[in-house]
Structures are given as C-alpha cells and as structure tokens.
Amino acid sequence: MQIVYHGSYCKVEEPKIIEGKYTKDFGKGFYCTILSEQAEKWAKKYDTSIINMYEYNENTKLKIKNFIVMTEEWLDFIINCRSGKPHQYDIVIGAMSDDQVYNYVTDLINGTITREAFWELAKFRHPTHQIAFCTEESLKCIKFIKAEEI
C-alpha cells in the first residue's frame, strides 16, 4: 500500500478518467503523484486548492508501465502520447515533463532542438513523479482517504 496525491480545485472521492482538450504526458487518465509537494503545485493553479489523498494498492494483473528514470523510451512515449497516439497500459508511472520540459519536448517535436540538446537541458530539472490511471479497471487500485484545502 502506498499513498498517492491528486491536486485539484475540489474533493475527488470518485476519480474519473479525464480526457481533456490538451494531451498529457501519459495520455488520458486520472493523474496522481507520490510527491505531496508536486500535488500542491498542481492544486495551486486553482483559486481553491485541494489535495486529495488515496491509498494505492497495485494490481499486478494490470498492464503497468513504470519508467524508473528518464530514458529515450520515456521521451518517445511522451512524444507519442502528446501527439494523441493511444497506448495499451492501464497504469503509467514516471517522471513528469513539467512546463519547462514540455517546452523542450515541443521544441524536439518541431525540430527546433536535437535529442542531444533535449537531454542536456532536461538533466538539470528537479525530480518529478506522476502516476496515470488510464483505465476504469486501474481506478479500482485507489481508495479515497481524505481531502485537505491548502
């Protein structure tokens, strides 16, 4: 069992798969993190900032992709997801391409920088973490604990 956090503008007792108008690092899903500080950053984007906490129990029968470190495979996965290509995983875990890294990814996609330049720029970023619950079955792995306004 592990605690994961979701930053939002409201209490989220029953998480849902979000398919927003903007593509995300790991595609559609309900995004959490093991880093409470990161969830705070997500929540502080809103006038009312709420941190939701969940108990996460991994189901090894699900298709889980875990990017332990930022690699070429991680980068290609994000490029594909941000380009709207679907994947077959229930849960995807790994580093987040925060706003600055996202700009580097965009520059790479547009051909403005090379892969070598991307890695040189990305290596100075602070550690981040995200876990995307991408299917309804994956949402059964998390159980709401509480929500706190910050």
pLDDT at 82 over 70: yes
Give me the pLDDT at residue 101, please.
75
Range of the domain at 139: 2-149
Q: State both tokens at 131.
A: 């876990």
Question: What's the total number of domains in the chain?
Answer: 1
Kindly give the residue spans of alpha helices, DSSP state H, lying in 21-129.
36-43, 72-82, 99-110, 115-122
**Mean pLDDT throughout 101-107?**
82
Whole-structure pTM value: 0.87
For residue 31, the surrounding DSSP H or E stretch is: strand 30-32
Tokens of 43: 């929540």
> CB of 44 within 8 A of CB of 7?
yes
pLDDT tens string 1-58: 899 999 999 999 999 997 766 678 899 999 999 999 989 988 999 999 999 999 999 9
pLDDT of residue 48: 94
Tell me the mean pLDDT in the region 94-114. 83
The pLDDT value recorded for residue 106 is 84
Residue 110 has pLDDT above 70, yes or no: yes
Query: How many Å apart are CA 5 and CA 31, to the nearest integer?
Result: 9
pLDDT value of residue 103: 83
Between β-strands 91-94 and 64-66, what pairing exists: parallel, antiparallel or unpaired? parallel
The per-residue pLDDT for 60 is: 92
